[in-house]
Amino acid sequence: MRGYQWDWQFFLTDTGAGQTYLQWMLSAWGWTLSVAACAWVVALTFGALIGTLRTVPNRGAQFFGNAWVELFRNIPLLVQIFLWYHVIPAIFPVMKSLPPFLLVVLALGLFTSARVAEQVRAGIQSLPRGQMMAGSAMGLTLPQTYRYVILPMAFRIVLPPLTSEAMNIIKNSAVAFAVSIAELALFAQQVQEETSRGIETYLAVTTLYIISALVVNRILAYVERSVRVPGYVGGGK
């Protein structure tokens, strides 16, 4: 490594497409964050739904929830992205018109939804059984008990473990390079080949990933603090 000629200025040179490498990298960062953010919305929506289904006293619903989690957990993310990108549009021609960005968001979001569902299920099951019984004793129907008693508590309890999933989704969004989404990992590979300034490029990209993870961590730590349940582990007074 000694004698390596550092050249950070190449970031300010033109790529040949009317922008500098720095501008290209920032736009790639934007793609990474957009993929992660949109996939997070998908993951939270489906994760909350499936996680709740798995606790409902109904065999069919439980089976569906379990099948969902096993399906999305036991196939590598890269293979799932290929499935959404190559296989599903071939089987359902309607999907052909969807932009690759959306397919990757679905792939990453549903992959993560299985993990979110696990956390949500664990959160609901960590509640004392008395909560559910108190709900029925008051004459609430099952959906009402979930809506007003179980879920408001469960969501506040599962938030801390979800922070690490939110940070994982940023890291996992790097797999989108495989279907040519112009995000950071693809940027790193392309610029390394194009300019042979691989070390500087990788350092910059790695730093951006770490910054993104730290920012998400801080934001969610704040949210955690403001919604935590008094009297629970880690909860305030």
Partner 1 sequence: MTLDLSFYSWDVIQAFVLKGFAFSVQLTIVAMIGGIVLGTMLALMRLSGVKVLEIPATIYVNGMRSIPLVMVILWFFLLMPFVLGRPIGAELSAYVTFTLFEAAYYSEIMRAGIQSISRGQVYAGQAIGLSYGQNMRFVILPQAFRNMLPVLLTQTIILFQDTSLVYAIGAYDLLKGFEVAGKNYGRPIESYLAAAIVYFVICFALSYVVKRLQKKIAIIR
Cα 123 to its chain centre, rounded Å, is 19
Interface map 167-186 toward partner 1 (x if CB under 8 A): x--xxxxxx-xx------x-
Chosen residue from 1, 17, 137, 233 binding partner 1 by CB under 8 A: 1
Report if residue 78 touches partner 1, rule: CB under 8 A. yes
Token pair of 153 as six digits:
């508590």
Find the DSSP H helices in the chain: 21-53, 59-73, 77-82, 88-91, 100-125, 129-137, 142-145, 151-172, 184-195, 198-227
Token pair of 27 as six digits:
């736009």
Q: How far is the CB of 56 from partner 1 (least distance, A)?
A: 22
Interface map 85-124 toward partner 1 (x if CB under 8 A): -xx--xx---------------------------------
Report if residue 209 touches partner 1, rule: CB under 8 A. yes
Single out the segment in contact with partner 1 by CB under 8 A; choices: 82-90, 119-127, 130-138, 148-156. Answer: 82-90
Chosen residue from 98, 213, 223, 229 binding partner 1 by CB under 8 A: 213
Q: How far is the CB of 138 from partner 1 (least distance, A)?
A: 36
Alpha-carbon span 101 to 39, nearest angstrom = 10
Token pair of 194 as six digits:
């194009």
Contacts of 227 (CB under 8 A, 6+ apart): 156, 159
At which residue do the structure tokens 């129907």 appear?
Answer: 141
Q: How many amino acids of this chain bind partner 1 (CB under 8 A)?
A: 39
User: Which DSSP state fits 146?
Assistant: I
Which CB sits closer to partner 1, 11 or 177? Answer: 177
Alpha-carbon span 109 to 88, nearest angstrom = 16
Report if residue 70 touches partner 1, rule: CB under 8 A. yes
- Per CB under 8 A, residues contacting partner 1 are 1, 4, 70-71, 73-80, 82-83, 86-87, 90-91, 167, 170-175, 177-178, 185, 188-189, 192, 198-199, 202, 205-206, 209-210, 213
